[in-house]
A and B are shown apart, each in its own frame.
Chain A
Amino acid sequence: MSFSTYLVRRLMHSILVLFGISILVFLIARVLPGDPARVALGPRAPEETVQRWREWMHLDEPLHVQYYYWLANAIHGDLGISLYSRQNVAIDIKTYFPATAELALFAGLIMTVFGVLFGAISARYSNTWVDNIVRIGSYVGVVTPAFIFGILFLLLFGLVLKILPTTGRLGYSTAAPPIITGMVTIDSLITVNFAAFLDALKHLLMPATALALGPMAQEARITRASMSDNLKKDYMLLVSAQGIPERLINFKYLLKPSLIPTVSILGLDFAALLGNAFLVELIFGWPGLSRYGIQTMLLSDLNAITGVVMVLGIVFTTVNILVDIVVAYLDPRIRLTGERLQ
């Protein structure tokens, strides 16, 4: 099987999965106990109105028909009205998504760069004090949930030392850059507004680090383990005997294959990141999709919940495809044969 066939099959599989996610999300909103029409209109709405709503939303038809209507509307960008904002959920998602994307991208960057860096340092200087510090640190990182990091940072840097802002994306005194991508850091760079950029970066630092530390520790542990495994392999002795420069050995022959397991779990780490964003956005008052998600969840706003979960499912599925492509690039056994290794 060639690599392109592998890629096509991988994409087909993802489309199937997305389809499945839409069914699952739909079922969560419709089958689990509770009457969606009653939930939408509140306990005091007259029965007539509730009945009319049912008809309007096709709630009195069989499930597969309901699903058809829901999916057809969703594809046309109509995710229903949110009880929280009283407007189309799609508009809300468009408003809130960039903030979460910015946070997740920044956290993802921190987790990947520093995770690999610390892992590599730890493997290179294994069983020295540097290694021990990294290993202990990564243990603490793995077992500490993001929301606890969030609370600790908030207390220490935000409230006691007062060196970082505790809430929002920009300070009150900073003029917001015009919305281009919706990500404040990028928008302020495009419009060459460095004051806003720095302020946005300051606001990003705590929530992004709180999100990144756990997955980063995971990445560091995996990188360390796979690098120290590969260091012991015979081919390492061979390449050094061939007189290949140490820099080239370290990057091309040691780091590159060692990154395969690291990249493979990036997908899972990103999932943890997206989930934890729900709590971290709440802690830091970050006006993103996750905070919107939590607020709508507390109201049992079914349309908004299905919309948010669906979007995050799509994001995560896309990340998984990217991860698989990078792994295939790093691993010639997949790139050349298209076979997935067990």
Chain B
Amino acid sequence: MKTRLRNAILGSWETFRRGWYKFSRNRLSVVGLFAVLLVAFLAIFAPYVAPHPEHAGRYVDFSEQHQPPSWKYLFGTDVCGRGILSRIFFGFRFSLMMGMVVLALVVPPGVILGLIAGYFKGMWIDTVIMRVTDVFVSIPPLVLALAIASVLKPNLFNSMVAISLTWWPWYCRLVYGVTSSLRNESFVLAAKVTGASTFRILFREILPNCISPIFTKMSLDMGWVILLGAALSFVGLGIQPPQPGLGTMIADGAKYMPGNWWVSIFPAFAIMLVVLGFNLLGDGLRDVLSAEEV
């Protein structure tokens, strides 16, 4: 168990090489990895790679309004004369930030609650935690996120809070499943017999066994969280103009269809690229990490 933890954390060369071999056997996983790397690169270096970085924010040039795609504006321009391509690059920034912040807010509490509930299965604390997750997952996630976002002030941070509040139960349930199946395994009993504290058993004995499914889920969830964020900004409850949210851009462009189709369609494809990338990557990671279990 411990060596695997060390391998997972240190990522020894041999494990990495084998993992990469397995991962790269599925060409789609590699495509996903490249899509994610491309999006990350464009997001990080947006001010340098975007042809018109000043178009990301409050910028108006009506003489260039609604230009169709051309060499100057590869994806055309919007109603304010801002280049769609440049705005998509900056939109990636907000999307990736959204995914990372939400997962950072969601994974620790979800995992800890799942560990506790799973380890004390059958006791009152298990009942309380798991019934609360039951309630949260009994409202469709997008509906719950919209409702929470609507009572807060609409902005990027509050939309992250809204999504986080809908997302934590899934990590809780995932870890609960693993923990409750492991709680009577001999290595846990051995730790208990040697007098290890509950804290130690939870975090040093059981948690390492949850790492692979958690990582796989995180990689898949990046795409879904970004999508949910785009959905919130599409209806106006997320990132606010003039900041370039991908959902906001699609909603803005929808007013000018079909004549100025490029305003909506390119940001739509951009979202699909991000979600597809993280999905393929997540599937690839699952193949590698679940094979490692055996």
User: A residues within 8 Å of B by Cβ?
Assistant: 13, 16-18, 20-21, 23-25, 28-29, 32-34, 139, 142-145, 147-148, 151-152, 154-155, 159-160, 271-272, 274-276, 278-279, 282-283, 293-294, 297-298, 300, 302, 305, 308-309, 312-313, 316-317, 320, 342
Contact = CB atoms under 8 A, between A and B. Distances in A.
Given A151-B254, A271-B140, A145 B235 contact: no
B139 A21 contact: yes
Contacts of A32: 148, 151-152
A154 B257 contact: yes
Contacts of B257: 151, 154-155, 159
A215 B235 CA distance: 21
Nearest to B181: A342
A21 B137 CA distance: 10
A279 B139 contact: no
Given A282-B235, A300-B151, 17 more contacts: A17-B134, A24-B139, A32-B151, A32-B152, A33-B153, A139-B276, A142-B279, A144-B272, A147-B250, A151-B250, A155-B264, A159-B257, A278-B143, A294-B146, A309-B147, A320-B138, A342-B177
B138 A159 contact: no
5 contacts: A24-B136, A139-B279, A155-B264, A274-B143, A279-B231
A145 B132 contact: no
A169 B235 CA distance: 21
Given A32-B148, A159-B258, A17 B268 contact: no
A116 to B, nearest CB: 22
Interface string B116-131: 0000000000000001
Interface of B: 131-132, 134-136, 138-144, 146-153, 177, 181, 223, 227, 230-231, 234-237, 250, 254, 257-258, 261, 264-265, 268, 271-272, 275-276, 279
A153 B154 CA distance: 29
B163 to A, nearest CB: 12
Contacts of B279: 139, 142-143
Contact of B135 (A24, A139, A300, A309): A24
Contacts, number: 137
Contacts of A13: 134
Nearest to A36: B151
Nearest to A22: B135
B148 A28 contact: yes
A279 B275 CA distance: 18
Given A17-B138, A297-B146, A297-B147, A148 B272 contact: yes
A143 B151 contact: no
B86 to A, nearest CB: 21
A33 B158 CA distance: 11
A55 B93 CA distance: 46
Contacts of B131: 16-17, 20
A307 B149 CA distance: 16
Contact of B138 (A29, A145, A272, A317): A317
A266 to B, nearest CB: 13
A144 to B, nearest CB: 6
B252 to A, nearest CB: 12
Contact of A283 (B254, B258, B271): B254
A20 B147 contact: no
B142 A272 contact: yes
Contacts of A142: 279
Contacts of A316: 138-140
B43 to A, nearest CB: 19
Contacts of B143: 274-275, 278, 293, 308-309, 312
Contacts of A342: 177, 181
Contact of A145 (B153, B230, B261): B230
B138 A275 contact: no
A263 to B, nearest CB: 18
Nearest to A297: B150
B268 A151 contact: yes
A327 to B, nearest CB: 17
Given A147-B234, A151-B250, A29 B140 contact: no
A283 B143 CA distance: 16
Contacts of A139: 276, 279
A9 to B, nearest CB: 13
B229 to A, nearest CB: 11
A147 B231 contact: yes
Nearest to B135: A20
| Residue from A145, A160, A302, A316 having most chain B Cβ neighbours under 10 A | A145
Q: Top 9 closest A-B pairs, CB basis? A: A275-B142, A20-B135, A297-B150, A159-B258, A271-B140, A275-B140, A143-B276, A143-B275, A274-B140
Contact of A20 (B134, B140, B235, B236): B134
